[in-house]
């Protein structure tokens, strides 16, 4: 409502044009500095040496050497990322740093896309916050001891590349909303088709959100049935083109039926019902403690609503009294960091994203209500159509962690679009709705800016605490990584000996194994193969509980081992309590373990004996002279 106070309202409503002009220049500089700082803090500290990331190096290395994905190499995701990185290895030679530099470039590109996309429909201030959030918290952050959850050396490049392609698709879709040309529709289809070749959950979210968005756009532009049919035909053709090209490629290397079934493997794996019932995925989804998680989601949602509504209420009262200026805005903006510091350990910083699914549902409903209850210009309609699609994409992308939405683990990628929508809600939509009643947003803007600044600082500091402990080098040159010092990371109640033992293991293998020797590392430390450049004769299987279930248990593994027996087998300590099958050879793959013990003799023990809960260690086994591929 308009103020009835005798005090005249401030002449400046919301952030001034001058402020926005300054932010248009300063914002990219701030983002650049923030990204540079995080790269400096995190350099070669992005990955966990033995867990997951080795697969992202071994697979492209072997493809560059002439092997074929799926036929010669086991892989559970799409074809795009491995072959893209194989091309880099083909041109520059094997090197983790080469792939990292390439993905730093992709991360910068995505940051630019995000900034330009958001600034085209919102303010430079909103775009700056969104780009900073992505770069320093999600792309380059480190929010738990286990690494691999960043955009430079992730557990799966298929996920990060899928997110990149999805946002480029959304950026093109934004332009299509304004001017629905066939060229843009073809681009949307082709980019979506490329996303299909990455990770299925990204395509699932993009496909559902995009379908809803296209339906709205067709109606908004009053397209007739014939034009809609032609558009859908063009979209479908462009969408299936990347998969068709991949099929043609694989069909030159294997029978067509095998090529087709191999391309469908990632979808088949993702729909495996046995996998979805594993304790690990219930933990990720939050269904393992559904009641408790729902309570926490509701509580954090209430905190968010009360905080935002409280700021809006105070802003309204200050405006009515004519005091909505620096006299209250500046002291509050200073007080927030002080209170945050005082209550630092009482604030659950890493769990504040918990209510994101509920917030996305709320934003979706609010946008629908706003569009239906207001008379909007075409430009405003276009903006809200896009935000509606972005909200749906964000919501569907959270489906894997719906009841356990956190910044760490898979949340580094899956929560970002929803976090971006919260920034757009708080810094653009709500201020715009407030200003419609001729109310200044000075206090509101100062307060929310201070809150976001505190959150960014705290999460950067959190990353620093982890990165600063990674001081032990493993590997050499372009394949160097830094890991935690022994006393800097608790590991099942013992010093963290993984990097020390790994270094000794690499040195031993380099000095004692023949360069052409074939080596299988169990259960899933294929990074050893990559760093020592020893081929794994059993397709680079990661024999963890997940892949063990996906391939059908022991029989396929035994078949591979007997048909292509490794010269050496290395057993490296790894525990899987989160899967409900803690130890290789005891809780799963018992027959495989027994076959190894019968056909191989111990050559070297480094550290503790694996799979005994006595600490980290490795055992090197050599094939017995009497053994052969038909050994049982």
The stretch 595-613 carries a mean pLDDT of: 95
CA distance linking residue 240 with residue 218, whole number of Å: 21
Give Cα 384 distance to the centre of its chain: 26
Residue recorded with tokens 């809960």: 613
Q: At what angle do helices 96-121 and 53-64 cross, to 10 degrees?
A: 110
Cβ partners under 8 Å of residue 375, min gap 6: none
**Residue 15, token pair as written in the block:** 């952030």
Q: Which long-range contacts (CB under 8 A, 24 or more apart) does 536-540 make?
A: 536/58, 536/566, 537/564, 537/565, 537/566, 538/564, 538/566, 539/72, 539/73, 539/74, 540/55, 540/58, 540/59, 540/62, 540/73, 540/74
| Of 77-81, 157-161, 272-276, 596-600, the least confident | 272-276
Cis ω before 507 (30° cut-off from 0): no
pLDDT attached to residue 10: 41
In which band, very low, low, confident or very high, does the pLDDT at 16 lie, cut at 50, 70 and 90? low
In which band, very low, low, confident or very high, does the pLDDT at 7 lie, cut at 50, 70 and 90? very low
**Residue 601, token pair as written in the block:** 């003799």
Q: Is the dihedral of CA 376, 380, 386, 388 positive or negative?
A: negative
For residue 248, what are the CA distances in angstroms to 243, 244, 258, 263, 632?
Answer: 9, 6, 12, 11, 39
User: What percentage of residues in the chain have a pLDDT greater than 90?
Assistant: 82
pLDDT attached to residue 274: 83
The stretch 396-422 carries a mean pLDDT of: 95
pLDDT attached to residue 208: 97
Q: How many residues are present in the chain?
A: 632
For residue 134, what are the CA distances in angstroms to 266, 395, 421, 584, 603?
Answer: 27, 17, 12, 37, 48
pTM over 0.85: yes
Mean pLDDT of the chain: 92
Residue 136: CA atoms inside 13 Å, Cβ hemisphere, count?
28
In which band, very low, low, confident or very high, does the pLDDT at 436 lie, cut at 50, 70 and 90? confident
pLDDT attached to residue 240: 97
CA distance linking residue 107 with residue 90, whole number of Å: 22
pLDDT attached to residue 454: 96
pLDDT attached to residue 272: 84
For residue 539, what are the CA distances in angstroms to 54, 180, 519?
Answer: 14, 46, 11
Residue 617 has pLDDT above 50, yes or no: yes
pLDDT attached to residue 17: 66
Q: pLDDT tens, 479-510? A: 999 999 998 887 677 889 999 999 999 999 99
pLDDT attached to residue 631: 42
Residue 418 has pLDDT above 50, yes or no: yes
The stretch 327-340 carries a mean pLDDT of: 93
First to last CA, the chain: 83
Q: pLDDT tens, 182-209? A: 999 999 999 999 999 999 999 999 999 9
- 10 Å CB burial of residue 404 (0-12, 13-18, 19+) is buried
- 10 Å CB burial of residue 601 (0-12, 13-18, 19+) is exposed
CA distance linking residue 324 with residue 135, whole number of Å: 33
Q: pLDDT tens, 136-187? A: 999 999 999 989 999 999 999 999 999 999 999 999 999 999 999 999 999 9
The stretch 112-126 carries a mean pLDDT of: 95
**Residue 54, token pair as written in the block:** 């080795």
CA distance linking residue 110 with residue 113, whole number of Å: 5
DSSP calls for 30-62:
HHHHHHHHHHHHHTT-SS-SSSSHHHHHHHHHH
Cβ count within 10 A of residue 281: 16
């Amino acid at each position: 409502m308009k103020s009835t106070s005798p005090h005249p309202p401030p002449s400046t409503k919301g952030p001034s044009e001058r402020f926005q002009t300054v932010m248009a220049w300063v914002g990219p500089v701030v983002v650049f500095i923030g990204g540079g700082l995080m790269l400096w803090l995190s350099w070669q500290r992005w990955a966990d040496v033995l867990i997951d990331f080795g697969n992202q190096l071994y697979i492209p290395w072997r493809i560059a050497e002439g092997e074929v994905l799926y036929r010669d190499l086991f892989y559970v995701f799409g074809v795009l990322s491995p072959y893209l990185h194989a091309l880099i290895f083909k041109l520059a030679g094997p090197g983790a740093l080469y792939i990292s530099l390439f993905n730093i470039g992709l991360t910068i590109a995505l940051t630019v896309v995000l900034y330009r996309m958001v600034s085209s429909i919102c303010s430079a201030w909103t775009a700056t916050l969104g780009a900073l959030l992505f770069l320093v918290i999600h792309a380059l952050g480190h929010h738990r001891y286990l690494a691999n959850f960043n955009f430079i050396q992730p557990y799966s490049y298929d996920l990060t590349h899928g997110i990149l392609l999805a946002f480029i698709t959304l950026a093109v879709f934004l332009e299509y909303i304004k001017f629905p040309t066939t060229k843009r529709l073809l681009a949307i289809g082709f980019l979506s088709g490329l996303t299909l070749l990455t990770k299925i959950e990204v395509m699932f979210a993009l496909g559902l959100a995009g379908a809803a968005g296209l339906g709205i756009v067709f109606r908004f532009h009053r397209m007739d049935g014939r034009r809609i049919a032609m558009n859908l035909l063009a979209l479908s053709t462009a969408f299936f083109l990347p998969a068709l090209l991949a099929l043609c490629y694989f069909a030159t290397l294997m029978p067509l039926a095998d090529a087709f079934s191999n391309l469908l493997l990632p979808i088949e794996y993702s729909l495996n019902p046995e996998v979805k019932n594993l304790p690990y995925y219930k933990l990720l989804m939050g269904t393992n403690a559904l009641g408790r998680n729902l309570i926490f989601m509701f509580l954090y949602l209430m905190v968010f609503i009360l905080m935002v509504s409280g700021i809006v209420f105070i802003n309204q009262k200050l405006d009515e009294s004519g005091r909505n200026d620096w006299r209250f805005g500046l002291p509050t903006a200073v007080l927030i960091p002080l209170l945050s510091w005082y209550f630092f350990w009482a604030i659950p910083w890493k769990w504040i994203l918990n209510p994101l699914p509920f917030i996305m549902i709320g934003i979706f409903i609010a946008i629908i209500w706003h569009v239906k209850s207001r008379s909007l210009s075409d430009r405003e309609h276009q903006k809200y159509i896009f935000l509606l699609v972005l909200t749906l994409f964000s919501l569907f992308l959270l489906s894997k962690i719906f009841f356990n939405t956190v910044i760490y683990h898979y949340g580094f990628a899956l929560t970002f679009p929803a976090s971006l929508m919260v920034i757009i809600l708080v810094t653009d939509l709500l201020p715009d709705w407030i200003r419609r009643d001729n109310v200044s947003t000075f206090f509101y803007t100062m307060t929310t800016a201070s809150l976001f600044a505190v959150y960014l600082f705290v999460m950067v500091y959190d990353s620093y605490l982890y990165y600063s402990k990674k001081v032990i080098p493993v590997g050499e040159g372009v394949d160097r990584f830094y890991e935690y010092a022994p006393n800097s990371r608790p590991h099942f109640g013992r010093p963290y000996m993984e990097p020390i033992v790994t270094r000794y293991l690499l040195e031993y293998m380099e000095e004692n194994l023949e360069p052409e020797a074939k080596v299988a590392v169990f259960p899933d430390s294929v990074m050893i193969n990559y760093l020592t450049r020893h081929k794994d004769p059993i397709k680079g299987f990661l024999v963890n509980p997940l892949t063990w279930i996906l391939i059908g248990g022991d029989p396929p593994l035994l078949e591979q081992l007997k048909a292509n027996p490794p010269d050496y087998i290395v057993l490296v300590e790894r525990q899987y309590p989160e899967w409900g099958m803690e130890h290789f050879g005891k809780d799963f793959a018992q027959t495989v373990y027994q076959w190894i013990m019968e056909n191989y003799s111990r050559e070297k023990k480094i550290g503790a004996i694996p799979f005994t809960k006595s600490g980290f260690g490795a055992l090197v086994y050599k094939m017995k002279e009497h053994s052969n591929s038909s050994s049982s």
